[in-house]
């Protein structure tokens, strides 16, 4: 992997360093990175047991996606876990990288359990269902 100082996407690496340190200290290991200068997109992927965590920088925004290693192509924006565990009165949570990392870290045992391969399909469906309901005008 390219060392952070050599990255052309220093904003992502700074955001990871600033906002996700506590979460990554739980034992996540870096496994890959991808950068597309033309699209203004970069991602760093980390793994811990059955959990995949992606830090993403896209057009100036930094955010996290999280999912189960059994279904790495079926990840959700990490804010969805706050929707699931602490539903807002209306709308949905739209946390940046820092807010999402802090929430996941604070609710680690529950999130870890929801991301188990046996629980992930149902948890993901509930998160996506909540977001779909809101997109269709629900509250």
pLDDT digits (tens, 9 = 90+) for 56-110: 998 888 899 999 999 989 999 998 899 889 887 666 677 889 999 999 999 999 9
Provide the pLDDT for residue 15: 85
Q: What is the distance between the terminal CA atoms of the chain, rounded to a whole angstrom?
A: 43
CA distance 32 to 35: 10
Lowest-pLDDT range, 63-67, 110-114, 127-131?
127-131
Structural domain span for residue 110: 4-135
Count how many domains the chain has.
1
Interatomic CA distance for residues 34 and 100, integer angstroms: 21
Check if the beta carbon of residue 76 is closer than 8 Å to that of residue 83.
no
Q: Pick the closest to residue 44 from 29, 60, 59, 61 (CA basis).
A: 29
């Amino acid at each position: 992997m390219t060392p952070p100082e050599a990255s052309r996407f220093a904003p992502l690496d700074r955001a990871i360093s600033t906002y996700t340190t506590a979460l990554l200290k739980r034992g996540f290991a870096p496994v890959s990175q991808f950068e597309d200068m033309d699209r203004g997109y970069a991602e760093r992927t980390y793994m811990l047991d059955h959990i995949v965590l992606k830090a993403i920088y896209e057009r100036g925004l930094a955010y996290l996606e999280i999912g189960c290693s059994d279904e790495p192509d079926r990840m959700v924006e990490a804010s969805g876990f706050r929707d699931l565990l602490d539903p807002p009165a209306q709308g949905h949570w739209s946390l940046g990288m820092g807010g999402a990392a802090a929430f996941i870290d604070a609710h680690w045992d529950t999130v870890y359990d929801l991301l188990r391969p046996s629980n992930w399909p149902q948890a993901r469906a509930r998160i996506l269902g909540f977001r779909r309901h809101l997109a269709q005008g629900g509250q």
